[in-house]
Amino acid sequence: MLTEAAAVVIGSGALGASVAFHLVAAGLKPVALLDQHAIGGETSPRAAGLTQQVRGSDLMTDLARRSVEKITRFAGETGQPIVYVQSGSMKIARTAAHARQLREEVEHGQRCGIDIDLISPAEAARRNPFLRPTGITAVSFAKTDLYLEPGQIPRLYARAFGERGGVLLPHTRVSGVLREDGEVKGVLTEQGTIRTPVVIDAAGAWTRRVGRLLDTRIGAVATRHQLFITEPIDGVEPMQPITRVIDCNAYMRPADGGLMLGGYEADPVQVDMANLPAGFSIADLALDISVLHRLAEQISEQFPVFRRIAIREHRGGLPTMTADGEHILGPWPGLKGFYVAGGCCVGGLSIAPILGELLAAWVITGSPGLDLSPLSPGRAAVADLDETTLAEACRRNYAYHYWAPDTRPA
Ligand SMILES: Cc1cc2nc3c(=O)[nH]c(=O)nc-3n(C[C@H](O)[C@H](O)[C@H](O)COP(=O)(O)OP(=O)(O)OC[C@H]3O[C@@H](n4cnc5c(N)ncnc54)[C@H](O)[C@@H]3O)c2cc1C
């Protein structure tokens, strides 16, 4: 067992594996990547694997664009072959307010250098032949969005990390963090202590729980999110674009000859990980297919295909929501050497490549190279809200996931 490390990353999902890879790629040694379970086996491989480059701010749109570019350069950067489909993505509005939202998103995206435009409902139906172009008020198409089998991101970053001398420690749960005089000194595990000046909390649904080991309160709420994949359907082709429907927060894409459907319900299950047994794994999470059947019904006018489906796979996980809908990335204020990479807001898989690169630069050089204060772990929306306010703000950000703030009900 390793006893000393330059940095310890807790959690080998997409975010932790990306940070760990970028740390060793930048020359830091030795770095340990610890997971209480198998490497990259929890929420990350259960994701839909979609990118969405046009986000709510210039900063997030820029980061999401850079992350997609990193996925397209992944093999060159890591030496690991990755498979993705650059199908583009469509977003469908069915109300006047959401048509306005889409026009603004297109302007915003174009200003940020994204290849995005409005297309007609007929053109949308040509791109996605399962779409009936009725009841639609606007559609956007972003040409360079892509999708991929999600487990590749943590698995391939972890493999590239190992090939560069990084130390992979699966089935190694961090149960304590050592600190002295306001500085991190190491982590405790059942297999022993690793002394280190840098600890990165990339524990996904358990991010708060790890934070509590240091008496920090990280305002990110683990929230159940699910999707299904149908049996193969005639006419499904891999290049049919990712399609999102704004008002009912549903998304779909081709998946192994069938269709994947997922989405965001109004009353999601929020989970306090402190109430679960120490050995809990995402595989133990209770799922509820009725949530997805309701979503399928809500889009059945435009997608009658979902009226008669045979489901091949139903899966779900525990992404974490934040009160302001932004990720959490950076050093924890007042505790030297403690960093957080979390608050994924159901977008952590696709943004992990760039966030990992930036956090690694932050650890090594003391700066990420751009202003990431909106993602700061110490911001009021993360550090200061009472539990009730936090839970309700996170619920709303989930329930209106695709709605621009000014289109949401009060
Ligand atoms: C159905 C579904 C669809 C989704 N679709 C998308 C999508 O299309 N695009 C997108 O970008 N995102 C999507 N997401 C969200 C995405 O899955 C998450 O943002 C991402 O997986 C978060 O990665 P992570 O590394 O933070 O967490 P995880 O993958 O959960 O990794 C955290 C790891 O930390 C480990 N850990 C926790 N505590 C400890 C400890 N004390 N000691 C050691 N290890 C510990 C855990 O075992 C776990 O392996 C989706 C999620 C779901 C569930």
Listed in sequence order, the DSSP H helices in 112-254 are 121-127, 152-163, 207-212
14 CA to middle of ligand 1, Å? 7
Write the residue with the smallest CA distance to atom 15 of ligand 1. 346
Question: How many angstroms is it from 203 CA to the middle of ligand 1?
Answer: 8
Q: Which pLDDT score, from 0 to 100, does residue 136 have?
A: 98
Instruction: Report the C-alpha gap between 190 and 175 in whole angstroms.
Output: 8
Tell how many helices (H) and how many strands (E) occur in the chain: 11, 22
What Rg value do the Cα atoms of the chain yield, rounded? 21
For residue 213, give the ligand 1 atom closest to its CA.
Answer: 41
**Parallel, antiparallel or unpaired: strands 31-34 and 7-10:** parallel
Would you kindly state where each structural domain of the chain is located, as residue ranges? 7-47+151-221+323-407, 84-147+225-268+279-314
Say whether pLDDT at 3 is over 90: yes
Q: How far apart are CA 118 and CA 106, in angstroms?
A: 7
Under 8 Å CB-to-CB from 290, ≥6 apart: which residues?
none
409: left (phi over 0), alpha (psi -120 to 50) or beta: beta
Residues of the chain with pLDDT > 90, as a percent, come to 99
Return the residue whose CA atom lies nearest to atom 3 of ligand 1. 47
Ligand 1 neighbours, Cβ below 6 Å, are: 10-16, 34-37, 42-44, 46-50, 173-174, 202-206, 210, 225-227, 262, 316-317, 319, 342, 344, 346-350
**pLDDT of res. 292:** 98
Closest C-alpha among 236, 223, 204 to residue 312: 236
Tokens at 81, concatenated:
């072959």
Give the whole-angstrom CA distance, residue 292 versus residue 297.
9
Residue 209 has a pLDDT of 96
Burial per residue of 162-187, b for 16 or more beta-carbon CB atoms within 10 angstroms, e otherwise: bebebbbbeebbbeebbbeeeebebb
Q: Give residue 169's pLDDT.
A: 98
Instruction: State the distance from the centre of ligand 1 to the C-alpha of 142, rounded, in angstroms.
Output: 25
pLDDT of residue 83: 98
| Ligand 1 center from residue 356 Cα (angstroms) | 14
326 Cβ contact list (under 8 Å, min separation 6): 60, 343, 345, 374, 375, 381
Q: How far apart are CA 91 and CA 409, in angstroms?
A: 20
Structure tokens at 368: 């990420």
pLDDT greater than 90 at residue 1? no
pLDDT per residue over 19-30, tens digit each? 999 999 999 999
Confidence of residue 367 (pLDDT cuts 50, 70, 90): very high
Ligand 1 pocket test, pick from 35, 51, 193, 351 with the greatest ligand atom count within 8 Å of Cβ, gives 35
DSSP letter string over 286-332?
---HHHHHHHHHHTTTT-GGGGS--EEEEEEE--EE-TTS--EEEEP
Asked if residue 401 has pLDDT above 90, the reply is yes
Q: Phi/psi of residue 139, each to 5°?
A: -140, 135
Determine the topology of domain 84-147+225-268+279-314 in CATH. D-Amino Acid Oxidase; Chain A, domain 2 (3.30.9)
CB 201 within 8 A of CB 35: no
> At 181, which amino acid appears?
D
In which residue are the tokens 């940070």 written? 19
- How many residues does this entry show for the chain? 410
- pLDDT (average), residues 334-345: 97
Task: Decide if pLDDT at 62 tops 90.
Answer: yes
Give the Å distance between the CA of 96 and the centre of ligand 1: 35
Does residue 171 have a pLDDT over 90?
yes
Residue 101 confidence (pLDDT): 98
**With the C-alpha atoms ordered 202, 391, 63, 146, is the resulting torsion angle positive or negative?**
positive
Alpha carbon of 65 to ligand 1 centroid (Å): 21
pLDDT of residue 264: 98
- The mean pLDDT of 41-55, rounded to a whole number, is 98
Question: What percentage of the chain exceeds 70 in pLDDT?
Answer: 100
Confidence of residue 188 (pLDDT cuts 50, 70, 90): very high
Residue with token string 């809200």: 385
373, pLDDT greater than 90: yes
Q: In the prediction, which pLDDT does 26 show?
A: 98
For the chain, the average pLDDT equals 97
CA distance 263 to 399: 9
43 CA → ligand 1 middle, Å: 4
pLDDT over 90 (residue 278):
no
Whose Cα sits closest to atom 51 in ligand 1?
A: 47
The pLDDT, as a whole number, for residue 391 is 97
pLDDT for residue 203: 98
User: Domain 7-47+151-221+323-407 is classified in which CATH homologous superfamily?
Assistant: FAD/NAD(P)-binding domain (3.50.50.60)
Mutation choice for ligand 1 from 8, 34, 39, 42, CB with most ligand atoms inside 8 A: 42
**Which atom number of ligand 1 is nearest to the Cα of residue 226?**
1
Question: Residue whose CA is closest, atom 22 of ligand 1?
Answer: 348
**Whole-Å CA distances, 318 to 139, 177, 271, 370:** 30, 24, 8, 29
Expressed in angstroms and rounded, the spacing between residue 204 Cα and the centre of ligand 1 is 5
Give the pLDDT score at 313.
Answer: 98
